[in-house]
A and B are shown apart, each in its own frame.
Chain A
Amino acid sequence: MRKIALLCGVALVAAGCGGGGPSTSGGGKLSDDKVVFGVLNDQSGVYAQLSGKNSIKAVELAIADYKAKYGDKAVAKNIVVEAADHQNKPDVANAKAAELYDRKAVDAILDVPTSSAALKVADVAKEKKKLYFNITAATMDLTGKSCNKYTFHYAYDTYMLANGTGKTVTDQGAKSWYLVYPDYLFGQDMTASFEAAVTKAGGKVVAKDPAPFPNASGDFSTYLLKAPNLNPKPDVLGTMQAGAELVALVKQYNEFKLREKGVGLAVGLMFLTDIHSLTPDALAGTTYTDAWYWNYDLRNREFADRFFQATGTRPTFAHAANYSAALQYLEAVQANGTDDADTIVKYLEGRTVEDVFLRSGKIRAEDHRVVHDAYLAKVRSSKEVKEPWDYVDVLKTIPAADAFRAPSADCKL
């Protein structure tokens, strides 16, 4: 008799693992009775400040909002956040992603900066058939040749940055460009996107130089010496460096007095935390494209205030996008009563979404690009900064329809 009971138990467990068995809880059809987010990012390196541990806080805010909204009616009662540090290394990202999905029962991986690492995680998501919202990587390949059914590219990409900054700065009269980029996937991608955007706007790239990555000495003076002596002399130096390297390059740009020598500065990718590190004066007047700005309107500000209470800093666009992705995922679970990956993907595809981060947001079915309004911003001088962290003026909104490229033929879902 006991044996039979045991066999029944085994059968039940096996059925449960298969996902088709009857659920024993009353809450709904959730795997393991809970929803698990996996925040996979750089927690101690160059990108730790712009996303890092505060991305986890952002996801926790989304969970709190979801619970407050649905209360007893919430399908997901037990929501867990697992975090892992991928150290910006593709192989580590690969292993951690598999561990999160398999051992930590993660339903959706979020964040993942560093393009090469982000692509590895996309492969893992495809293999495990689990959801993956990439927030902080820029590579177009996520919605190009490496796209897959379970991967969504959420916040921004190199096209968005180049199209915004490259086009606008060229339109404003800076026709000739000198591009300096870190010599890895992200930098190469950015440079190609910028060159295309600049050329399309009637400008010309007179020179482009790959800089060692990672740059061990933190010294970019060679390029800064070279810039004013190029023939023809460039109107603007476009830097694709990110994080600490951007900080070093801008510092040295000012040291070499290039603005006084008639070479302006355009920054490919910049986060709020970079401006904070450099102090706004080091960047004053620099134009760049932002996916979201915390003091753009009251709605953003309200979120930023809550974020500030939790972390002591204002959110970057990456933080806001992590919040948004977690929230939209939970809404999808609520609407469908399940966290089954295929059901959620089907629900999200083609959907129009709106929240504090996603303005005029739409999740494209063709390539899983999440499109939304982007913003062209200009850094203030310290005299114009009235409030800590309020470093930029938003010059204009780039409508969602123009901000991102059309779906690529390379992507076959």
Chain B
Amino acid sequence: MLQHVFNGLVGGSFLALVALGLAVIFGMLRVVNFAHGAIYMLGAFGALALTGEAFWAALVVVPVGLGLLGMVLERTVVNRLARLDPLYNFLLTFGLTLVLQDLVKWRYGVQSSPYPTPAGLGGSVDFGLFDFPAYRVFVLVVAAIVCFGVWFLLSRTRLGLIVRACTERPELSAALGVNVGRWVTPVFGFGVALAGLAGVLAAPMRAVHPLMGADLIIVVFAVVVIGGLGSIFGSVAAAFAIGVLQALSEAYLDSALVSQILVYVVMAAVLLWRPSGLFGREESPA
């Protein structure tokens, strides 16, 4: 039981990192970034491009590089959507996903690419009641540190204060003298970098292929909706909760269908009960 919960937390780590980036971006820009899954995939391929031995370097270089790419994308294309119908941001970011996927397919093919477990993390950690692959423990620790770091940044620094204010009520914050626009690009880049980090972490333990993000992002969207669109704490909490729920349902229920649709059932239930998600707030009227 305990090990399944633990395992669920590891699965939740990926959801949390990707969802966190998505929530930060949505909060700040009101853009639902469909390309987020493709960025996760790029993260894994970025790790691949740097080859296995350079895993530790990839852990830093790839997210930073993707973050910069994200900032360029925000400056060049995404910011043009700010005042348009949300349909356009769907079309753009979805199109971006296809372009990125096809670029990777073109370079690496559609098959899964091999990636070894990083040196030093191949063993197991003994927890007394059960042992667990060291790499998974590492993933959980990294995700926890990042989530805590983001939480600290957001709740204890002036930067966080501004980001929270802009995320929650961008218009009001502007009327109070905050230059919301100035923070948009770095926040977008930061959100993208988080997805990239999740991708690098996924490379050694999941199949690295061009569609890996497309599969994951649907679940992440459900997670973000459950947590409350734009709610940073909600997204992280929902990600870990869904991770654990999924692991337990796979372990103890005999129907794959249930574990497969579980996240959507939870989403539907939450939406019926609280239309703005567990930790979300109604958008204030203009």
Contact = CB atoms under 8 A, between A and B. Distances in A.
A277 B111 contact: yes
B250 A223 contact: yes
B11 A219 contact: yes
Nearest to B218: A216
B215 A214 contact: yes
A231 interface: no
A217 B10 CA distance: 11
A217 B110 contact: no
B4 interface: yes
A366 B207 CA distance: 41
Interface stretch (A31-39, A113-121, A241-249): A241-249
A45 interface: yes
Contact of A255 (B114, B135, B207, B260): B135
B124 interface: yes
A288 B41 CA distance: 30
A218 B204 CA distance: 12
Interface in B199-231: 202, 204-207, 209, 211-212, 215-216, 218-219
A255 B136 contact: yes
A216 B207 CA distance: 11
B60 interface: no
Contacts of A211: 250, 256
B251 A217 contact: no
A46 B211 contact: yes
Nearest to A221: B7
B117 interface: yes
A69 to B, nearest CB: 33
A255 B202 CA distance: 13
A49 interface: yes
A276 B111 contact: yes
Contacts of A341: none
B110 A45 contact: yes
A222 B212 contact: no
Nearest to A260: B124
A70 interface: no
Interface string A367-380: 00000000000000
Contacts of B112: 243-244, 247-248, 274, 277-278
A396 interface: no
Contacts of A183: 255-257, 260
A294 B206 CA distance: 28
Contacts of A215: 215
Interface residues of B, number: 42
Contact of B250 (A49, A222, A254): A222
A216 B10 contact: no
Contact of A52 (B110, B136, B207): B110
A52 to B, nearest CB: 7
Scoring B112, B130, B246 by chain A CB atoms within 10 A of each residue's CB, the highest score goes to B112
Contacts of A214: 215
A210 interface: yes
A14 B257 CA distance: 52
A212 B256 contact: yes
B257 A273 contact: no
Interface string A273-289: 11011110010000000
A104 B124 CA distance: 57
Interface string B1-44: 00110010011001100000000000000000000000000000
Contact of A226 (B11, B113, B202, B251): B251
A276 to B, nearest CB: 7
Contacts of A254: 117
Interface string A173-216: 00000000011000000000000000000000000011111111
Given A222-B247, A225-B4, A282 B114 contact: yes
B117 A44 contact: no
A412 B228 CA distance: 56
Contact of B256 (A213, A221, A243): A213
Contacts of B14: 217
Nearest to B247: A222
Contacts of B124: 257
5 contacts: A215-B215, A218-B206, A221-B247, A226-B251, A277-B114
A-B pairs, 5 with minimum CB distance: A212-B260, A183-B256, A210-B256, A49-B111, A248-B207
Given A52-B110, A222-B4, A279-B114, 20 more contacts: A49-B109, A49-B110, A183-B260, A211-B250, A211-B256, A213-B256, A214-B215, A216-B219, A217-B11, A217-B15, A217-B215, A218-B216, A219-B11, A221-B136, A244-B111, A244-B207, A247-B209, A254-B117, A273-B111, A274-B111
